[in-house]
Structure 1
Amino acid sequence: MPERSVRTLAIVTGDHHVQDPTKLGAAYGPEDLKAHAAMVEAIASLGRFDITVYNDHRRLFERLAEQRPDLVVNFCDTGVGNRPTRELNLPAWLELHDIPYTGATPQAMVLCFDKQIVRLVAEALGVAVPGEVFLPAGMPRETLPDLYPALLKPNAADGSVGITKDAVVRDQTEARAYLAFLDRELPGRDILWQEYLPGPEYGLGLIGNPDAELVALPPLEVDFSRLPKGANPILSFESKADPASPYWTEIKFRQARLDDDTRDRMESWARLLFRRFGLQDYGRFDFRCAADGEPRLMEINPNPAWANDGKLAFMAGFAKIPYPRMLEMVIDAAIRRIAVSG
């Protein structure tokens, strides 16, 4: 598809009118709506596209079929109807109807949603990963793994759901209490018992596609230094959903200060994983250092947060890329990819 033919954009986000488990109180708040408005304004400011915004999923597919936009900007990272397990449904439907879209394929979403699969594939490719034990849902837990301190989290979840400020456990008593919390709040979920990594946490973003231009943004470091004494330095659910929590107010992002070897190694791993998992147009890779100071892969985000206060926007800012231009880079990556693939 030639670039000049892309005029009509449909921007699909989460549904503002129904419950969302990734939000505090399962509802969109003022901060969420502010970020959404800033994103729409940023794309409109490019002056290139006729934009329709879909933040109400009632008759979503019928309306998209009627409009048949030149390109769907798939920012629906909460899933259709704000159900995370239905995040893949939108791109799957768009493919069936031959409507181009930005971002990850359904296959990439399924693979990256399962954290154990990500770890196993990454390890097979030579990417450093933390030690981990998989706890299947419903299995007896008379004997727990002897791996402390540990980070306990759902094997499949987005938005740090299931990872609260208390997710780091240091003994069996704390572990059993947190496992009980997870069983109560997220029944039927498989759980990962993961080696807790005490070192710095980094994010690395890529925009583009492997067979064209794939731009690596300057890595980001999470600054936990302002958290209250004794608080676990992690990006918990509170850090993404609760404006009243110190995890929201005191955690900051800054440009990472990395030696060349470490930065190059993380970037090389990110590029390898981008291709292996079939990501498209953009992606974010989270790393954290173990006690030996070496980074380990924590997570792959195939459709990372697009908000102007999200990690990807911060990384773009480190490269002096304005927020509207960052969004345009993602859109243009999709346009070039579609032109090549037909």
Structure 2
Amino acid sequence: ADQFYAERLFSKSEIFDLLEEVGFISIRDHGNLTSHSTREHDLGMMENRMFLTARAPRKVKTDKKQAPKFTKFTVLMGDPTIPDPVKRNGQFNEEDFTTIDKLTQALEEIGDYEFEYLNTHATLQQTIRDKRPEFVMNLCDEGFNNDAFMELHVPALLEMYHIPYTGAGPACLGLCYNKSMVRAIAASLDIPVPLETYFNPADQSATIPSIFPAIVKPNYGDSSIGITQNAVVHTPEQLINYMEELREVLPGRPVLIQEFLSGAEYSVGIIGNPGLTTTVLPVLEVDYSGLDPELPKILGYESKWHPDSPYWTEIKYHEAKLTEEQRRKILDYANLLFERLECRDYARVDFRMDARGEIKLLEMNPNPGWCWDGKMNYMAGFAGMRYSDMLKLILDAAAERESLAVQNRVLVGA
């Protein structure tokens, strides 16, 4: 009997669009497959196939009657009364207090929640133990006692007292503090990464890599500590000089020498959690066009902590103009890392193109900068949000996650 059927041809981009439209995420193109008939039949259009994978996030069913309603948040921040070695002059400065003022003003605009503030670290453990906050908004990226190495100790303390909190857990923060480990995990996920050489300070001798230009940075750390305009080196002599400088500033810490990525620089902001409500903010691009051409195009220490530096005043940010393929890649990479590193509630992933135009991972940032003039708020602004809208999204994401966790604990207990 004759058989009749209809076919509709789709391009690869159209298939991606269809999958996105019905809710699939982490859509990846693994290339084309060619099939051959063992009976030497003409396979026609079946001979060449596209190999695509995608993930369908689980739909979470919640019992609204049992879901707890969180209304009171304790905002936990760094302690302005004690030294902070990361900040300019080793202390909180005028711009830091301006940041705190703008935060409190924005939180006042959120009508769904009540807020109180906690920043005295000398009595932090006692306060947490005695007051038992309903929910902590953990904005203490300075770390306990303003020690960045002890950033993970803050959520660890909260977990000891079973206090729910916003943002990443201790394991995630500890892992992402180690740049080389994050790079290795990204590479295992087939995410392009820069070439890298790891130097242990205990090594008596080492081979200088031939990757120039290169950027030299400490393996541990955030807030661009140890990354200044001198970190971009073009010769072995410059490399050795900057490594000596790092040994003085950060003694005993391993050093990374990475291929310097000289192309366009992007950031992806994610607010939410896998399988729950998630918002991916518009991709940001760093605009270095106002910077003196003689200066290295990087977001180093000067761009975050020196208000008089051209890195602070001349670098701008705008919404990225990407091809559809570039956008899919960068969002796919960001979502993969968010899940694999077990980020929670919000994170920022930075990428940069190499000289050939390939997008590579720059840095993973759980609990990224929440300040009014930070990248996350810029990206929220591209989406038409106010600062308070972005903060509320983070709080809502944490509350939704914790509500589900409470219900699951109840079900397991039952």
Q: TM-score, normalised by structure 2?
A: 0.81
Structure 1 unaligned blocks of 5 or more:
none
How much is the aligned-residue C-alpha RMSD, in angstroms? Answer: 1.3
Asked if 2 retains the 8 angstrom alpha-carbon contact of 1:208 and 1:333, the reply is yes
Aligned positions of 1:299-310 closer than 5 A: 299-310=363-374
Distance (whole Å) between structure 1 residues aligned to residue 68 and residue 100 of structure 2: 27
Q: Indicate the residue corresponding to 2:169 in structure 1.
A: 105
Q: Which amino acid aligns with 2:271?
A: I
Distance (whole Å) between structure 2 residues aligned to residue 228 and residue 22 of structure 1: 26
Distance (whole Å) between structure 1 residues aligned to residue 201 and residue 275 of structure 2: 40
Aligned positions of 1:38-49 closer than 5 A: 38-49=102-113
Which of 404, 408, 413 is matched with 1:340 structurally? Answer: 404
Which of 95, 112, 134 is matched with 1:31 structurally? Answer: 95
2:122 corresponds to 1:80: no
- Secondary structure of 1:273's counterpart equals helix
Distance (whole Å) between structure 1 residues aligned to residue 248 and residue 181 of structure 2: 25
Distance (whole Å) between structure 2 residues aligned to residue 251 and residue 307 of structure 1: 17
* More RCO (CA 8 Å, sep 6+): 1
Larger Rg: 2
Q: Indicate the residue corresponding to 2:272 in structure 1.
A: 208
Q: Which amino acid aligns with 1:219?
A: V
- Secondary structure of 1:166's counterpart equals helix
2:377 corresponds to 1:326: no
2:202 corresponds to 1:138: yes
Distance (whole Å) between structure 1 residues aligned to residue 261 and residue 365 of structure 2: 19
Q: Indicate the residue corresponding to 1:71 in structure 2.
A: 135
Distance (whole Å) between structure 2 residues aligned to residue 57 and residue 93 of structure 1: 12
2:267 corresponds to 1:230: no
Distance (whole Å) between structure 2 residues aligned to residue 141 and residue 232 of structure 1: 29
Distance (whole Å) between structure 2 residues aligned to residue 21 and residue 153 of structure 1: 17
2:83 corresponds to 1:19: yes
Aligned length: 342
Q: Indicate the residue corresponding to 1:288 in structure 2.
A: 352
- Secondary structure of 2:368's counterpart equals coil
Q: Indicate the residue corresponding to 2:258 in structure 1.
A: 194
Which of 379, 390, 405 is matched with 1:315 structurally? Answer: 379
Q: Identity of counterpart residues, as a percentage? A: 40
Q: Which amino acid aligns with 2:337?
A: L
Distance (whole Å) between structure 1 residues aligned to residue 227 and residue 177 of structure 2: 15
1:106-162 deviation line (CA, Å, top 9, x unaligned): 000011000000000000001010000111122124531111110000000110000
Asked if 1 retains the 8 angstrom alpha-carbon contact of 2:199 and 2:206, the reply is no
- Secondary structure of 2:156's counterpart equals helix
Asked if 1 retains the 8 angstrom alpha-carbon contact of 2:76 and 2:117, the reply is yes
2:245 corresponds to 1:181: yes
- Secondary structure of 2:230's counterpart equals coil
Distance (whole Å) between structure 1 residues aligned to residue 365 and residue 68 of structure 2: 30
Structure 2 unaligned blocks of 5 or more:
1-63, 407-414
Which of 105, 111, 114 is matched with 2:178 structurally? Answer: 114
Q: Which amino acid aligns with 1:270?
A: A
- Secondary structure of 1:66's counterpart equals helix
Distance (whole Å) between structure 2 residues aligned to residue 23 and residue 194 of structure 1: 25
2:8 corresponds to 1:8: no
Asked if 2 retains the 8 angstrom alpha-carbon contact of 1:5 and 1:70, the reply is no
- Secondary structure of 2:229's counterpart equals coil
Asked if 1 retains the 8 angstrom alpha-carbon contact of 2:83 and 2:90, the reply is yes
